[in-house]
Amino acid sequence: MNKHFSLYIHIPFCVTKCHYCDFISYAGKDDKIPAYFNALNREAETLSAGYTDRTLDTIFIGGGTPSYVPAHYIGKILETVNANFTLNGGCEISMETNPGTLTEEKCAAYRSYGINRISMGVQAAQSRLLSMLGRSHTFEDAQRSVDAIRRAGFDNLNMDVMFGLPGQTPQDWYETLDKVLALRPEHISAYSLIIEEGTPFYASYPNYEQDDADRAMYHYLLKLLAGKKYLQYEISNFASAGKECKHNLYCWDMEEYLGIGLNAHSFIGTTRFANEISLDEYLRSIQDKGNARGFEESLTARELMGDYLMLALRKTAGIDLTDFKASFNVDLMSVFHNEADNFIKKNLLELKNGSLRLTRKGLDYASYVMRAFL
């Protein structure tokens, strides 16, 4: 029987490195772009031999800023993927972009390569906040980019925004949402700022933590987008009817996926593995042996169940108890009875229509709840 899976392609190059970013990405390494894409294409060709019995349902090109590199590199890696993997006829092909890196020519090229979903990092409408974040664009750049995306024929656009930023007022947040909604994206991803160790923000804001203002912004978001007919299908993700991100849903449903590129992660069967984290080591490994696997672990049944719960609880639909039993041949409530009962009593989880899911209150404590199941 043909199996379905997803592919993630990592492009680590950026215009500038954002102050909050802890992803493996680089600014100022444009001289590495040709060698990197040569390696990326070779890795795709080499790995594909192990997946001839599978069909790709989704492809996600992330970074970094994939739209920063010349478009023909994106075309070439997708050409390689098409030549070496079997794609579902309705394959969702998403690509991350940033305002200021898009042109009409690039957008038309992406469309010709088969990309059918664009995700754009906007983050805020105010120039002072964008500068504080280390972003290299203005909101006017975002508006021009949306025009180019639409003229190229894309009808599936996500826009990322952030709240809980240092110095961000409620009025800033309202203005950002109003301006983003005026551009009519089919999908909105809204993230509360998390400051990660090792980033410039970690040094600048050592005592930063979420507060009541952050939660008030989130609650305003939920009410506003519900009124605009956006379905909240995950803690931070909202979509017009039928425009949910299939790739992300695959990950939250703990379906199998393969990652190629620097530090790209994969999950196949019961095994997680990841590529080298050093750019030079990645390039050497691909040149020497055609793959760059630097980490691998096999998960126990208990670890798989814990990961499944952590991921599935992100979805507003929660965990279907019948699906859980079919996947693991055991009742969820028999394995996680203490954890589930504890959170149900605290009104953070609820059992409803055969599913275990976060309550409205539970959305504010999602990380706390998920950690308990791990």
Q: Tally the domains of the chain.
A: 2
CATH number of 80's domain: 3.20.20.70
pLDDT above 60 (res 1): no
Q: Given pLDDT bands bounded at 50, 70 and 90, which one contains residue 203?
A: confident
CATH number of 340's domain: 1.10.10.920
- Do residues 199 and 321 share a domain? no
257 assigned to some structural domain: no
287 assigned to some structural domain: no
268 assigned to some structural domain: no
pLDDT above 80 (res 206): no
Average pLDDT, the chain: 95
**Where are the alpha helices (H) located in 63-138, listed in sequence order?**
71-84, 104-112, 127-133
Tell me what the mean pLDDT of segment 348-362 comes to.
Answer: 95
Residue 338's domain comprises: 301-373
274 assigned to some structural domain: no
DSSP 300: P
- Do residues 72 and 136 share a domain? yes
290 assigned to some structural domain: no
- Do residues 352 and 233 share a domain? no
- Do residues 324 and 195 share a domain? no
pLDDT 10s digits, 118-128: 999 999 999 99
Tell me what the mean pLDDT of segment 78-95 comes to.
Answer: 97
273 assigned to some structural domain: no
Tell me what the mean pLDDT of segment 347-367 comes to.
Answer: 95
Which pLDDT score, from 0 to 100, does residue 195 have? 81
